[in-house]
Amino acid sequence: MEIPVAAQTLLNRLPKGVTRRLESVLERLPVVGDLVRAEKKKVSDSMKASIRKHRPTELAFSELPETGVATEMLLGTLRELSAREAPMWRDGKVSGGVYHGDERHLAFLNEVYALYSQANPLHADVWPSVARFEADLVAFTAKLMGGDAKLENDEQVVCGTLSSGGTESIMLAMKAARDLMRTRKGITRGNIVAPASAHPAFDKAAHTLGLEIRRVEVQDDGRADVEAMKAAVDGNTIVMVGSAVSFPHGVLDPIETLSELAYEKGLLFHTDACLGGFILAFAADAGFPVPRFDFSLRGVTSMSADTHKFGYAAKGTSVVLYRGRALRRAQYFTTPEWSGGLYVTPGFAGSRPGALIAQAWATMVSLGREGYVRHTKSVLETARTIRRGIEAIPELKVIGDPLWVIAFRSEQVDVYRVLDEMAKRGWSLNGLQSPPAVHLCVTLRHTQPGVAETFLSDLRASVEAVRGTPPSKDGMAPVYGLASSLPFKGVVSDLLSAYVDALYDA
């Protein structure tokens, strides 16, 4: 079904709620509804088939085996499977994903994990060392992010908790903002003002916590537009958001101006440093000075920084920080009347993996400041080489002024086809939209000898390959093309959910 461009543009401009209603009305019409359902089924079946094709078949059971499989055999198979999957991330072909990955570092983390595999910080009396590791991680990170966890002043002390990852840190910070602003200002239907580039975790938080999110278009360089952010604030705004750096284009929002604006308006301000915190904190010492983004700015009231990204720990930890104990208190959950006893948790989870806390602590302590500066220098230097190489390709244009997450777009070639060509050469890069673009998040994996050079020569070859050849029906190009041309985003959301269904049901 072809929709004329003018009608599509109009539909794309309609508020989300209106298009959703229109969509559900259309889906209820007998013929249109059948057509849409048939198309969705086709796409969902083909997703399932593709997932099945890539699923390993070793030790695949349709239900719990009646008798246990011998551990030696299990271990043998697991070794084979993980060894088969390792080359892609180990050899630096993946954007982001694995941030350290050095063999000796991983062996060390595994040893620490093994020592604490049974630990659960819910039982602080049983594992007091884990409780201390957790407090240390928060205090180390607070200091790195321009705060001081030892300050006596309850209003100004930078404190926080550990969480399971960037998304949980952001959701917790938004929950704390909601609850504090409800008590302090009586705001019951609060909103979050965030740049369009901020991570979807803010949408998830708003959706889950009954808040409204106001997404504000960013400038052409990918950075938040201060005037537009200001215009989006009203009497129900509880918190403003900026990224340091943003996931799509790896750029630093004007945090100094935005946080000052929030301060003057009596709002909270969250710096999302999930991706950037553990690089930016060491960038100046590595020879790459950056603007301020942290608690050294008086308007910044909360931050998220992921130990499981450039903190180089295994997946499963992040730090959420607050200016003042009252904001952190607003994050906690307490139940004084439960028949199971007195209950309190700092975050969303109940039981938590103490082993992940121990290995995150061991990572930070084993690297020390010197280790982080050394790694930051190596990531930023490699990224500079890659950025210059991309800029030298006439068909590609780097978005904004990024340091290590480098996004490029093109007016001459279909950038999603370049993404597909790179995939054929073994690369797993990220496709972006509005505008169509692709990014590479440089990690320590890309600092290995020859990786940057291979990336650039593969990129040149990929651009060459798409120039003057007709588009194919496979790969990501048609998917992104379809997603951006569909006026009804509900259909796209449905297909995304169908993808998750397929992962479980295939």
Ligand X SMILES: Cc1ncc(COP(=O)(O)O)c(C=O)c1O
Binding site for ligand X (CB under 6 A): 165-167, 170, 199, 201, 243, 246-247, 272, 274-275, 306
Largest pairwise CA distance in the chain: 71
Length of the chain: 506
Burial of 340 (0-12, 13-18, 19+ CB in 10 A): exposed
- In three-state form (DSSP H/G/I as H, E/B as E, the rest C), the secondary structure along 315-326 is CCCEEEEEECHH
Question: Shortest Cβ distance from residue 431 to ligand X (Å)?
Answer: 14
Looking at the Cβ atoms of 59 and 209, the one nearer to ligand X is 209
Looking at the Cβ atoms of 167 and 410, the one nearer to ligand X is 167
Q: Quote helix, strand, coil % in the chain, to nearest 5.
A: 50, 10, 40
Question: Shortest Cβ distance from residue 251 to ligand X (Å)?
Answer: 11
User: In the numeric block, which tokens belong to residue 84?
Assistant: 């088969």
Looking at the Cβ atoms of 405 and 463, the one nearer to ligand X is 405
Burial of 130 (0-12, 13-18, 19+ CB in 10 A): buried
- How open is the CA angle 98-382-446, to the nearest 5 degrees? 30
Question: Shortest Cβ distance from residue 197 to ligand X (Å)?
Answer: 9
Residue with tokens 């039981």: 351
Q: CA 245 → CA 127, 304, 329, 505, distances in Å?
A: 35, 11, 27, 36
Half-sphere exposure of 233 (CA within 13 A, CB side): 21
Looking at the Cβ atoms of 205 and 362, the one nearer to ligand X is 205
- Supply the DSSP string of 81-111, one letter for each residue: HHHHHHHHHHTT-BSSS-S---HHHHHHHHH
Buried b (16+ CB within 10 A) or exposed e, 187-214: beebbbbbbebbbebbebbbeeeebebb
Question: Shortest Cβ distance from residue 253 to ligand X (Å)?
Answer: 10
Question: Shortest Cβ distance from residue 174 to ligand X (Å)?
Answer: 12
Alpha-carbon radius of gyration of the chain? 24
Looking at the Cβ atoms of 44 and 301, the one nearer to ligand X is 301
Residue with tokens 């106001």: 214
CB distance 264 to 258 below 8 Å? no
Looking at the Cβ atoms of 199 and 445, the one nearer to ligand X is 199
Question: Shortest Cβ distance from residue 428 to ligand X (Å)?
Answer: 14
Looking at the Cβ atoms of 119 and 405, the one nearer to ligand X is 405
Looking at the Cβ atoms of 145 and 491, the one nearer to ligand X is 145
- CB-based closest residue to ligand X: 166
Question: Shortest Cβ distance from residue 111 to ligand X (Å)?
Answer: 24
Looking at the Cβ atoms of 268 and 274, the one nearer to ligand X is 274
Question: Shortest Cβ distance from residue 164 to ligand X (Å)?
Answer: 8
Question: Shortest Cβ distance from residue 435 to ligand X (Å)?
Answer: 19
Looking at the Cβ atoms of 187 and 303, the one nearer to ligand X is 303
Question: Shortest Cβ distance from residue 276 to ligand X (Å)?
Answer: 7
- 398 - beta bridge partners? 408
CB distance 207 to 184 below 8 Å? no
